[in-house]
């Protein structure tokens, strides 16, 4: 297996499974935690990530397929989205023009569908979204959500509002002058989501709390 990335919680490898290209996500043990507790938490987070992925796919939301779960090594074998790039790289390439605003529309649509399915991602950034060019000749790019390691199932508008706020902060810190693009995300979200009013109200509340914390220092 080829090591691609190591984060605080897991390593990512590129490999094959039954002849198909896969990304293997391996959660590793934390030496500072009691062995039994560490094993319990790792398995619980693995299960939750898989549940969220399966729930997304059942709702028609584009995300990697789960091919296999190895509970002994805490590995999830996921479909590799071949030919894709992170949305972070796409925005760095496109800037904040009309193509970027079109991607904002796609983001709003996929997040509305995810939240309507009561899935909260927990770590929305443009690095956790992949853009793949059209593979069926329609010319329409396809957007995929990845890395559901902090995800949860929740019906609360508060949790969904926080999800959007996290993405907004990630947008503004990673992509300067992208306010118009994120505005397009919210316009698209409002026009697609069945529960947009309560979620937008909560987003505004979270923004106000964030501003107060910034003023206090």
Helices (H) and strands (E) in the chain, counts: 6, 10
- The 10 Å Cβ neighbour count of residue 172 is 13
Say how far apart CA 53 and CA 47 lie, in whole Å: 10
Pick from 80, 85, 141: nearest CA to 109: 141
From the centroid of its chain, how far is CA 100? 18
Cα 51 to Cα 142: distance, rounded to the nearest angstrom = 22
Catalytic machinery residues = 123
């Amino acid at each position: 297996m080829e090591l691609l990335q190591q984060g605080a919680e897991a390593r990512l490898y590129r490999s094959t499974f039954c002849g198909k290209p896969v990304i293997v996500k391996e959660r590793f043990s934390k030496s500072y935690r009691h062995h039994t507790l560490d094993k319990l938490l790792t398995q619980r987070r693995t299960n939750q990530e898989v549940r969220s992925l399966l729930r997304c796919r059942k709702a028609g939301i584009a995300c990697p397929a789960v091919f296999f779960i190895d509970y002994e090594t805490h590995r999830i074998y996921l479909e590799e989205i071949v030919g894709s790039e992170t949305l972070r790289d796409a925005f760095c390439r496109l800037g904040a023009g009309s193509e970027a605003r079109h991607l904002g529309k796609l983001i709003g649509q996929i997040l509305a569908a995810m939240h309507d399915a009561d899935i909260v991602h927990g770590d929305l950034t443009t690095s956790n979204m992949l853009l793949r060019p059209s593979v069926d000749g329609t010319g329409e790019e396809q957007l995929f959500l990845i890395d559901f390691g902090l995800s949860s199932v929740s019906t609360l508008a508060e949790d969904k509002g926080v999800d959007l706020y996290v993405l907004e902060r990630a947008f503004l810190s990673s992509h300067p002058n992208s306010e118009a693009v994120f505005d397009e995300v919210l316009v698209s979200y409002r026009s697609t989501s069945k529960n947009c009013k309560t979620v937008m109200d909560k987003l505004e509340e979270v923004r106000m709390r964030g501003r107060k914390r910034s003023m206090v220092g």
